Chains A and B, each alone.
Chain A
Amino acid sequence: MNWDAWLPVLVVASSLLPGLVIFFLREGSHRLRTALNLVGAILKLVLVGILIWGVFHEHVYESRWTLAPGLDLVLHADTLSVLFVTLSTVLWLVTTVYAIGYLENAPHRSRFFGFFSLCVSATVGLALAGNLFTFVIFYELLTLSTYPLIAHRGTPEAVRGARIYLAYTLGGGMLLLIGTVWLHVLAGPTAFVEGGILGRLPAEYHPQLKVIFLLLIIGLGVKAALVPLHGWLPQAMVAPAPVSALLHAVAVVKAGAFGIVRVVYDVYGVNFTDQLGLLTGLGIAAAITIVYGSIKALFQDNLKKRLAYSTVSQVSYIALGTAILGPIGTIGGIVHLVHQGIMKITLFFTAGNYAETLGIHKVSEMNGVGRRMPATTLAFSVAALGMIGVPPVAGFVSKWYLGLGALEAGMAAWVMPVLIISSVLNAAYFLPVLYRAWFREPGPAWPAEHIPAARFETSAALLWPPVVTATLALAAGLFAAAPYSPLEWATLIAHREYGL
């Protein structure tokens, strides 16, 4: 094998191997564990850098390993996988730093960081999967490696939340598996190819293909938290904040949304999906989820729960973009994969900071917190405004392209109202929080002040990650037209998908 065939494997291995070593580390060997984590994360970043450069210049990176006759494990880098790999890798590095600060002196850190690394390895493998079979394998591995992280705290609620997560995701995984097997029987190995491969099947298969599509989308929709399959996500917020960040921004929810994008564009092909009349159904499911999630978020006093419902809503923008036929809608959906990630991770980091520093878990306890923790609250504000879609934060770019794409595709009649209603609702559940944080008088005492204000408002490892990701969210919006920006890369993907 040559270097081009090894690179995808190395990208996966750079978090897998440190993770395996970490399991065996003594609980107290804090430095070695941190070093392993960071070396792995930085190495992965370097490797992904090479990957980006190569894929841009149309290099082919592919590793293949036969598991059974006709069933190959394929890791393959194309523009879409590189987008997701880059997102996961960058956010993994930031989250690792955050988690090291967050879990200081907490028990079971070796177990935590071990599974944390496995989780990221599964995500990267899933992003690089070159066919649906490989995707399913990593999709299930992601489920397995996330379960211990949600149950990590070991309280009855945590174990219960993890069990609910498992029930949903394994059930969904089974449907995805059945759909994949069925497709395999009909069409042979389903490699991901830009423009899809199923369009050439004879018309008598079309009814079956519709059923398969439904199975695949339901299976993926569980992780992507499409209503009514979203029930696990609010339950899983009992997990530690870095895990929530992982669930909502880096790995799990994203894996579902990414899978939907893959199935529509690279298995069925967007034009063929439209021809089968499936695109509208997906769009409607996404629209319902967007509105429903926002309405539910409105009524949550628990900050993390409010953010969780906000994720339900925001992730479906990706599915919505997928359902809009035409390159501009595609760009809007795909770029939101990145934008939602960096904004939502900021929100969860800051929510974790409030909880760890001052014991604030509820929106109603946040009065005046902006004075005590200005940097954290500033990061929170940037991300929240981005979620609403205020320029120049990244979220604005996504919504702009989604709206424009809907106009172009002649779907504005129902997409525009959804976008507008959702933005109004986003504002309705985020702006009161900002108002409380900045303009209300603080109460006599914080619920439970764990970390006193010293040089920084909280410990440095907790403070820097949200500041960095908020800056990224701002930069992704401000420099959207710069080369290698998420938007430019999404445009490249759309061009290759539509053969422009």
Chain B
Amino acid sequence: MTDAMIGLVALPLTGAVATLLLPRSATVVAIGAGLATTIAAALLLFGVANQGALHYEMGGWSTGLGITLRADGLSALLLMMTSLVALAASVYASAYFSAASERARFWPLWLLLWTSLNALFLSGDLFNLYVTLELLGLSAVALATLGGKRAAAEAALRYLLVGLLGSMLFLAGVSLIYAGYGTLDLATLPRVVEPGPIAWTALAMMTTGLLLKTALFPLHFWLPPAHASAPAPVSAVLSALVVKAAFYLVLRLWLDVFANVVTPVAANLLGLLGACAVLWGSWRALQAERLKLLAAWSTVAQLGYLFLFFPLLLALPPGPTRDLAAGGLVMLALTHGFAKAGLFLAIGVIQQRCGHDTIRDLDGTAQHLPATTFAIALAGVALIGLPPSGAFLGKWQLLAGAVETGQWLWLVVTATGSLLAAAYIFRVLGHAFGHQPYPNQPVTVAREEWPALLLTAMAALVLGLGGAPVWKLLEIGT
């Protein structure tokens, strides 16, 4: 199964090079590489589920000298989500970009982004994580400029600067760790790190850098313009996956590597910022005039929920209750990934068919694009956290954790945020019921509508009804 780990990095990377060399058949090559990568991710998930956590030392160099790849339940799940989302977005992108020149620029960067995401989820030490984080940031910025408009370029420039600042902070933290403990290996560090000025400073710097990249309130300012002005498939991946990668690192650092360094006060601070993100992000989404901006602000809010889990996880003693809450966190992150990617793709369909995405003028859209409207509704169910979506199970655990630890504030924030989400989703769906002339034909699903529909169905139905294995997989740690 270690072959699958190598494949997850090598396949998209080879694809990236191949699309650069063969621009004419770039689309076919890219989709092929994407399919192969997805199969590798499935194999890895299967392998981890059956054999437990995996690790592989590249070139036979032992840990500390060479590059080590690791996969546990959490990374296998995130890799699977990444592959499915990226594959669906690839299929959509093949229909989205009509000009050959656009495609030639798009595919190599796209596959490079995919490579760096996979490498990040597989990395076993802090330096490699820094490298993959940097690669990810750069390819994401390059993709965001493909919108071609002035606004896109401005937003991407800001995105670039923020990303670089984040990486610098992260790198500074990493060097501090290396100076203090002489190792960067994620498996060794938890045993040697002890509370003290070095660990605290390093953690603070790395976390701040990552929070900047994951756009936690009040460091979210760059996200809405960047995500709203990028091309639809790029927005989908930025919102669903790229911010999650930084979040994944926060999770690893706080819960595994620095578990004995983190203090409840710090966790409460993260929770508080998360709460502000939920409320402010949802409120701004409600005010948004364009669909893409709504989706981007909703991402700010949804990331906030993930941070609400930190004070709960820190307050719960290790045991089944804590594992349930941690599973809820991952479930929420996975559901959001699928739902948000699907939402952006659906918005892309509307934008291309109707020429705009102004919410006020959406009357009649539903009559022409019933499948896309349905996809938006499914995404909405997941974003609000209604059953049968995976987010419902995630929020259930969030609420249960808040009750269990008596932290009622988070419960109130979650409830308010969910109702605000319902308000902004149904503000859009209310436009689906006009009596504009409609074609007398059955509901049709065009080729570019399928990816959005499948992704949102994954979020709203599959994860919610068949999500129990997620908790099982998370028991498999490194």
Docked Cα-Cα span, A136 to B441, in Å, equals: 36
Q: CA of A63 to CA of B426 in the docked complex: distance in angstroms?
A: 33
B435, A24: Cβ atoms closer than 8 Å: no
CB distance from B400 to the nearest CB of A (A): 5
> Which residues in A have their C-beta under 8 angstroms from that of B443?
23-24, 110
- Residue of A with least CB distance to B471: A69
Q: Which of B246-254, B337-345, B411-419 lies on the face that meets chain A?
A: B411-419
Name which residue of chain A comes closest to B422, CB basis: A170
User: Which of A136, A152, A166, A178 is close to B433, meaning CB atoms less than 8 Å apart?
Assistant: A152
Within the complex, what minimum Cβ distance (angstroms) separates B425 from chain A?
Answer: 10
B43 to chain A, nearest CB (A): 25
Chain A residue contacts of B399, Cβ below 8 A: 177-178, 181
Is B403 a contact partner of A181 (Cβ separation < 8 A)? yes
Tell me, yes or no, whether B381 is within 8 Å of chain A by CB. Answer: yes
Contact, CB under 8 Å: B438 / A67 = no
25 contacts between A and B (CB under 8 A): A25-B442, A67-B467, A68-B328, A68-B396, A69-B327, A69-B468, A69-B471, A70-B324, A71-B396, A108-B438, A110-B442, A140-B386, A144-B381, A144-B386, A153-B433, A153-B435, A154-B434, A158-B433, A170-B384, A170-B419, A174-B418, A177-B399, A181-B403, A182-B403, A184-B400
Q: A141 in the interface, Cβ–Cβ < 8 Å? A: yes
What is the distance, in angstroms, from A280's C-beta to the closest C-beta of chain B?
27
- How many Å lie between the Cα of A153 and that of B435 in the bound state? 8
Interface membership of B147, Cβ < 8 A: no
**Which residues of B have CB within 8 Å of A391?**
none
* Chain B nearest Cβ from A257, distance in angstroms: 21
CB distance from A123 to the nearest CB of B (A): 15
11 further contact pairs, Cβ within 8 A, besides A154-B435, A185-B404: A68-B324, A68-B393, A107-B435, A141-B388, A148-B433, A151-B433, A153-B433, A170-B384, A181-B399, A182-B403, A185-B403
Q: Check if A2 is an interface residue, CB within 8 A of chain B.
A: no
Cβ A137 vs Cβ B442 within 8 A = no
A112 and B15 alpha carbons, distance in the complex (Å): 47
Contact of A275 with B by CB under 8 A: no
Known: A26-B441, A71-B396, A181-B399. A166 touches B471 (CB 8 A): no
Secondary structure call for the A interface: helix
With both chains docked as a complex, state the minimum distance between the C-beta of A304 and any C-beta of chain B, in angstroms.
20
Q: Are A28 and B440 in contact (CB under 8 A)?
A: yes
CB-based contact A166/B422 at 8 Å: yes
A137 touching B430, Cβ below 8 Å: no
Is B465 on the interface with A (CB-CB < 8 A)?
A: yes
Q: A159–B435 contact, CB under 8 A?
A: no
Residues of A near B348 (CB, < 8 A) are none
Within the assembled complex, what's the spacing in Å between the Cα atoms of A73 and B438?
39
Complex contact B430–A163 (CB within 8 A): yes
In the bound complex, how far is the Cα of B384 from the Cα of A167, in angstroms? Answer: 13
Residues of B356-382 at the interface with A, using a CB-CB cut-off of 8 Å, are: 381
Give Cα distance in the complex from A174 to B415, angstroms.
7
**Which of B387, B393, B403, B404 touches A140 (beta carbons < 8 Å)?**
B387
> B464 in the interface, Cβ–Cβ < 8 Å?
yes
> From DSSP, what is the main secondary structure of chain B's interface residues?
helix
**Are B388 and A27 in contact (CB-based, < 8 A)?**
no
For chain A, residues 49 to 92, give those with C-beta under 8 angstroms from any C-beta of chain B.
65-71, 73
Query: Given that A24-B442, A137-B388, A185-B404 are contacting pairs, would A68 and B471 also be in contact in the complex, using a CB cutoff of 8 Å?
Result: yes
Contact B393 A67 (CB under 8 A): yes
Restricting to A1-50, which residues have a CB under 8 Å from any CB of B?
A: 23-28
- Write the chain A residue with the least CB distance to B431: A159
Nearest A residue (CB) for B468: A66
Chain A residues positioned under 8 Å from B384 (CB to CB): 170
Asked whether any CB of chain B lies closer than 8 Å to the CB of A417, the reply is: no
Give A84-121 interface residues, CB cut-off 8 Å to B. 107-108, 110
Instruction: Please report the C-alpha to C-alpha distance between residue A236 and residue B422 in the assembled complex, in whole angstroms.
Output: 19
In the bound complex, what is the Cα–Cα distance between A415 and B39 (angstroms)? 68
Partner of A68, one of B415, B418, B435, B467: B467
Question: Is A443 engaged at the interface, CB distance under 8 Å to the other chain?
Answer: no
Which B residues lie within 8 Å of A71 (CB)? 393, 396
Nearest CB of A to B433, in Å? 4
Docked Cα-Cα span, A167 to B424, in Å, equals 12
Interface string of B392-414 (1 = CB under 8 A from A): 11001101100110000001000
Give A189 Cβ to nearest chain B Cβ, in Å.
12
Q: Which residue of B lies closest to A150 (CB)?
A: B433
In the bound complex, residues from chain A placing their C-beta under 8 Å from that of B418 are 174
Which residues of A are found within 8 Å of B392, using beta-carbon distances? 137
**CA gap between A222 and B423 in the complex, in Å:** 18
CB closest residue in chain B, given A65: B465
Within 8 Å of chain B (Cβ to Cβ): is A432? no
Chain A nearest Cβ from B113, distance in angstroms: 32
**Distance A68 CA – B331 CA, assembled complex (angstroms):** 10
The answer to whether B440 and A159 have CB atoms under 8 Å apart is: no
A108 to B393, CA, bound (A): 34
| A228 part of interface (Cβ distance < 8 Å) | no
A67 to B328, CA, bound (A): 12
Q: How far is the CA of A65 from the CA of B331 in the complex (A)?
A: 18
Query: In the complex, A69→B323 CA distance in Å?
Result: 10
In the bound assembly, the distance between CA atoms of A177 and B471 in angstroms comes to 21
* A410 contacts chain B at the CB level, 8 A cutoff: no
**In the complex the two chains form, what is the Cα distance from A178 to B64 in whole Å?**
48
A381 to B400, CA, bound (A): 51
Determine whether A171 belongs to the interface, using a CB cutoff of 8 Å to chain B.
yes
**Closest 9 pairs (CB-CB, A-B):** A137-B387, A154-B433, A181-B399, A151-B433, A154-B435, A185-B403, A26-B442, A27-B440, A66-B468
Chain A residues near B423 (CB, 8 Å)? 167
CB interface residues, A 351-375, toward B, < 8 Å: none
Give A27's nearest chain B residue, CB to CB. Answer: B440
Query: CB distance A185 to B400 under 8 Å?
Result: yes
Bound CA span A71–B419, Å:
23
Nearest-neighbour CB distance to chain A for B459, whole angstroms, equals 15
CB atoms of B403 and A163 under 8 A apart: no
A294 to B78, CA, bound (A): 57
Kindly supply a per-residue 1/0 record for chain B positions 458-474, scoring 1 wherever the CB is within 8 Å of any chain A CB and 0 otherwise: 00000011011011000
Instruction: Determine the distance from Cα of A421 to Cα of B327 in the docked complex, in whole angstroms.
Output: 55
Q: Say yes or no: A181 contacts B400, CB within 8 Å.
A: yes
Expressed in whole angstroms, the Cα–Cα distance for A147 and B384 within the complex equals 15
Residues of A within 8 A of B328 (CB): 68
Q: How far is the CA of A71 from the CA of B390 in the complex (A)?
A: 13
Q: Closest A-chain residue to B367, C-beta based? A: A108
| Complex interface residues of chain B between 434 and 449 (CB less than 8 A to chain A) | 434-435, 438, 440-443
* Chain A contacts for B324, CB-based, 8 A: 68-70
Give the distance in Å from the alpha carbon of A66 to the alpha carbon of B468 in the complex.
7
| Contact for A159 among B393, B433, B464, CB less than 8 A | B433
Contact A163 B426 (CB under 8 A): yes
Please, which residue of chain A has its CB at the minimum distance from the CB of B394? A68
